[in-house]
Chain A
Amino acid sequence: MSTLGEMQQAFARALSDPEAAIPAGLGGRRAAQAQRRFAIYRNNVTASLIDALQESFPVTAALVGEEFFRAMAREFVRCERPRSQVLLCYGDTFPDFIAAFEPAQALPYLADVARIEAAWIATYHAADAEPLGPAALAALGADAGAARVKLLPSVRLVVSQFPAGSIWLAHQAEHAGEAGEGPETVLVVRPAMEVTLRVMRGAEGVFATALYRGGSIEEAAAAALGADGSFDPGTALVSLLTQGAVLAFEMENDR
């Protein structure tokens, strides 16, 4: 390996592991000064990622407080170093980390709120696409049930056993809604430049989840009707179209 490569290997090891010795040959200063100077890099590398997570997960941070959040984020950064120079979606695995993070177990909904925030970021940066309007439903015709719903590239769905969507909404400045209870399914989409969230409960959530996973309208409706006999698939489809979540309807023979 080149001399430069050896130095960078030692530098990288010491950045990742605060216990590791700093690289040799960093100036003839007192050891304590060299340590402190190297610590600036150690701190930059970690703190910049913690800051990025705090910016991406503001509601999660508000729920646990800044001190707890930054300690949790520090642990995540230690376990999952970025593998890409593009940090836009760094933290997409943070929700899974939170779900397994022992000190956060007192807030069982926390990981799902974080999933909504990760979905928000992914939706924000997703490829642009023009959604169908509600009028598209009329064009579906007699074999509508066999159609599958192709959703926008920006659509993300978060299925929670908790009222995670209501908790997220309660932390938005413009929101003045009632607290929710029970399981919620949250659909995040960006039909144009604004990310929007739709919180669904019961059969409507079952219906959207089945469509999101690639089921036909018929199959999704059957699953939803199993949860609630009075469910109306037509109304739910119009809601999805109105929210701007649908890219196209695909018939079986189109696929």
Chain B
Amino acid sequence: MLHHASARCAAGIPDRAGVGLKPEHYREILEQNPDVGYFEVHAENYMGAGGPPHAYLEVIRKRYPLSLHGVGLSIGAAGPLDRAHLSRLKALNERYEPGLFSEHLAWSTHESEFFNDLLPVPYTQETLDIVCRHIDEVQTTLRRQMLLENPSVYVLFEESEIPETEFLALIAARTGCGLLLDVNNVEVSANNAGYDAAKYIDSFPVEHVGEIHLAGNAVAEGEGERLLIDAHGSPVEDSVWGLYRGALSRTGPVPTLIEWDNDVPSWPRLLGEAQKAEAELSRSARQRNRTPARATALA
């Protein structure tokens, strides 16, 4: 097991807004050098031997802080982690030295089959033990702390016995991993599971949060239910901005990523979303600076 003082100190990523890097925007980014806090890439998209993805990422890495986000490690699978995949992640970590590395509280492989989705796990003592064992293995192999992301869920397990925020707090305490708070996932899961998203944020173990994700969701209605889908194909919803403000009031400024993976917008539109997050981060920083000043005056 690895021990780390805090999720934040080793990050190397500024408390600013970042953007998920898309091939559609490689050229504009290199030409314009936009003022973006950091870029994040999906690790699996950079597991080819060579070619333009690596060439562009090399240049962008020289100019910006980078965060590496895995989507296929299947940390929540009952079976063992895929050592070959872990080796590929290790190679990418060594090559690009990202400031953050994150993965999901989810599973996507069963036996030799890969499901291209983030599938849910029941929150039981057994799952807790398995997930913690896998995170220990990841952190030991990569020789770094990882962040674990809260999931979007569409089904609920009757056998779940631990609330999600408590489950994540237990994992962070046992493994020393940090947490990635995906605020859109909070809205999606809260809607689909029928709990209060703001209360979820209020009970989130914010001391472990090393990054926040923001994204758009989609509505699907049927069978007398209005479900939310984690679609990543539209702007961040107003309600999610509201939850984000609530989260920032607890965490203070924290690296915040705009994820827009489908129906990828123009670069200026995506940058505009990042600037909205940047404005919230500035407000959060000002609030943080005011608080101790007032405390001094009162003393």
A and B from one assembly?
yes
Q: Which residues of A contact B (CB under 8 A)?
A: 1-5, 7-9, 11-12, 15-16, 25-28, 30, 32-34, 36-38, 40-41, 44-45, 48-49, 52, 81-89, 123-128, 153-154, 190, 193
Contact of B119 among A33, A41, A82 (CB under 8 A): A41
Looking at B106-114, B171-179, B243-251, the stretch in contact with chain A turns out to be: B106-114
- Given A26-B155, A38-B155, the answer on whether A87 and B44 have CB atoms closer than 8 Å is yes
Does the CB pair A15–B115 fall under 8 Å? yes
Does the CB pair A86–B49 fall under 8 Å? no
Residue of B nearest to A4 (CB): B78
Does the CB pair B49–A126 fall under 8 Å? yes
Looking at B203-211, B222-230, B272-280, the stretch in contact with chain A turns out to be: B222-230
Interface mask (B14-38 → A, CB under 8 Å = 1, otherwise 0): 0000000000000000000000000
Task: Kindly list 6 other residue pairs between chains A and B, CB separation below 8 angstroms, not including A8-B77, A193-B51.
Answer: A4-B124, A8-B78, A11-B119, A40-B220, A41-B117, A85-B82
Does the CB pair A27–B155 fall under 8 Å? yes
Please indicate which of the listed interface residues A40, A45, A87, A123 has the most CB atoms of chain B within 10 Å of its own CB.
A40
Residues on B with C-beta less than 8 A from A40 are 154, 220, 227, 229
Does the CB pair B49–A125 fall under 8 Å? yes
- Given A8-B110, A85-B72, the answer on whether A25 and B117 have CB atoms closer than 8 Å is no
Distance in angstroms between the alpha carbons of A187 and B107 in the assembled complex: 40
Interface mask (B72-92 → A, CB under 8 Å = 1, otherwise 0): 111001110010010010000
Q: What total of chain B residues lie within 8 Å of the partner, measured CB to CB?
A: 53
What are the 6 closest A-B residue pairs judged by CB atoms, nearest first? A85-B72, A125-B48, A5-B78, A128-B50, A12-B110, A27-B156
Minimum distance in angstroms from A49 CB to a CB of chain B:
6
Distance in angstroms between the alpha carbons of A20 and B9 in the assembled complex: 48
Does the CB pair B126–A25 fall under 8 Å? no
- Given A25-B157, A45-B115, the answer on whether A125 and B223 have CB atoms closer than 8 Å is no
Does the CB pair B116–A128 fall under 8 Å? no
Q: Which residues of B contact A (CB under 8 A)?
A: 44-45, 47-55, 71-74, 77-79, 82, 85, 88, 107-117, 119, 121-122, 124, 126-127, 130, 154-159, 192, 220, 222-225, 227, 229
Distance in angstroms between the alpha carbons of A9 and B115 in the assembled complex: 12
Residues on A with C-beta less than 8 A from B108 are 85
Does the CB pair A85–B51 fall under 8 Å? no
Distance in angstroms between the alpha carbons of A186 and B73 in the assembled complex: 37
Residues on B with C-beta less than 8 A from A49 are 116
Residue of B nearest to A153 (CB): B49
Residues on A with C-beta less than 8 A from B117 are 41, 44-45, 48
Does the CB pair A16–B113 fall under 8 Å? yes
- Given A4-B122, A86-B72, A126-B50, the answer on whether A12 and B192 have CB atoms closer than 8 Å is no
Please indicate which of the listed interface residues A8, A27, A32 has the most CB atoms of chain B within 10 Å of its own CB.
A8
Does the CB pair A26–B229 fall under 8 Å? no
Distance in angstroms between the alpha carbons of A85 and B70 in the assembled complex: 10
Can you list 30 contacts pairing A with B, beta carbon distance less than 8 Å? A2-B78, A3-B126, A5-B78, A5-B79, A7-B122, A8-B119, A11-B110, A15-B115, A25-B158, A25-B159, A26-B155, A33-B224, A36-B222, A36-B225, A37-B227, A40-B154, A49-B116, A81-B114, A82-B113, A85-B71, A85-B74, A85-B82, A85-B109, A86-B44, A86-B85, A124-B52, A125-B53, A153-B49, A154-B50, A193-B52
